[in-house]
Structure 1
């Protein structure tokens, strides 16, 4: 069975739950027109004051295919994002084990949004010691057996109820579900795989 997924920036846990299902062929869509205000260039983490969206600025020229989207470096978003991630998770149980691999992502400039997002994905797979195969679309996919391109909304909470797990600021702000996979790995470490597989 084939599943079609969008290419996200440190995707939410719900995306990984679909990505890691067994007996599927995963295709990541890179020819769709870039839609604004989605996880394609944003990720949500748990900061001291609650949910925080980290948004990668892009150079936008009307209708542009995802594969052609360029990252803007007019402002130092890399420093801002890394500072926010470190501030949010440096007290979490597993951040110190992954800090070096994550920090490296923010130390070199990548022009292509797709390329950067794929680097983030491969880093997460490396951290979780997962060898999940996927391919990139070679043209715009009109239809697929399972199409998740418009399934994940950065604007509303997922319908699914996610089991609670320890979060650094949950004592203060309560449990926030379906954040970036970063939140999961920094708080659960190697147990993240079992959490995702059990969703």
Structure 2
């Protein structure tokens, strides 16, 4: 059975493991919610766990809630330039940053303004880096309790982090801060490189009993 997942901003390791291990359909008709991995991800820097947050244009007044698919990024300041500089500073000395730099950097040079589509691009970029084919199917409607899919939409919730038993790997600032689990897939990619796909395939996940 396929799993139902939100496209997130360079998703967490657990989320990407779920994408690798299952056939996926993307949730495209939910309402946007704040403080989720829809517009944030976490990396490791010299100061510890660090959030990269994509600013969005908020809809107010009579319009109220907006669909995730309709959310636009706030580009009045160059958040892409800021995020890329932060990634460079954090991972320049990691084993595989230079190996994948040319695949990741172009995402921070485009003029995207649709959050949903940009996030799918980040997921696709990782798929190309690790050599997998990514599903493109999206939901036709919103279902509160899906009947044809395993509901894994909870993976996008940043404030309800589960303990996935993330297997330790070497991180750039591990000696300073210890191992930080379930960061953005970028942390795994830049540190583990060509072993990333094997790592994701072997990460034990139980999505049905969370």
Distance 2:39 2:71 in 1: 10
Deviations 1:1-33 (A, max 9, x none): 021001100000010121111xx4311111100
Moved over 3 A (4+): none
* Counterpart for residue 114 of structure 1: 116
Distance 1:158 1:150 in 2: 10
Q: Matches of residues 1-40 of structure 1 in structure 2 within 5 Å?
A: 1-21=1-21, 24-40=22-38
TM-score by length of 2: 0.90
Q: Which has the higher helix share?
A: 2
Aligned partner (choices 86, 91, 94) of residue 93 of structure 2: 91
Q: Which has the higher strand share?
A: 1
Structure 2: 5+ residue runs without aligned partners? Answer: 204-210
Aligned residue pair count: 197
Q: Higher mean Cα deviation, 111-120 or 133-142?
A: 133-142
* Counterpart for residue 132 of structure 1: 134
TM-score by length of 1: 0.94
Q: Matches of residues 1-199 of structure 1 in structure 2 within 5 Å?
A: 1-21=1-21, 24-61=22-59, 62-144=64-146, 145-199=149-203
Deviations 1:135-185 (A, max 9, x none): 111221333231122244322543221111010000111000000000000
**SS state at 2:32 partner:** coil
**SS state at 1:185 partner:** helix
CA-based RMSD of the aligned residues comes to 1.3
CA contact (8 A) 1:152 1:158 kept: no
**SS state at 1:71 partner:** coil
